[in-house]
Structure 1
């Protein structure tokens, strides 16, 4: 619903770059700012971003990947009725 799922740009044998679009812009904007902060101050997500950077991914791709990881983490925490802790149980 946030529009963070990669959408293929394929036709026949051609495979294009994946992009994100559609979804709700307000949660995507909030996740963008949260991802910027997380890349800088959250050690686990900073390591994830550094791994992608070392693999040669562009900065926006790294940020969208962190946004998606934050969204999955939030859904998981809500479904298990937990608060986030740096060292999960």
Structure 2
């Protein structure tokens, strides 16, 4: 029996939050990342220093936009990106 995949059309496609630049106030951004992810202070700092960094993966658009805005308010540059279509769905 062959595997069949179906693309479900949803109103909300998953988004990723990507940190592109921590800016000058790195510790403020570390605290913001810690609040968003629940990581420890040390892991948050490591994540912030390795840009571009994927902060959140597969969240709804509203949550991704709010998280990116929170990171920008902390002094970073971040963006909410729509997740690409999986390879197995491409012709």
Q: Same fold (TM over 0.5)?
A: no
Greater share of helix residues, 1 or 2? 1
State the TM-score, normalized to the length of structure 2: 0.26
Could you say which structure has the larger radius of gyration? 2
State the TM-score, normalized to the length of structure 1: 0.27
Greater share of strand residues, 1 or 2? 2
User: RCO greater where, 1 or 2, for CA within 8 Å and sep 6 or more?
Assistant: 2
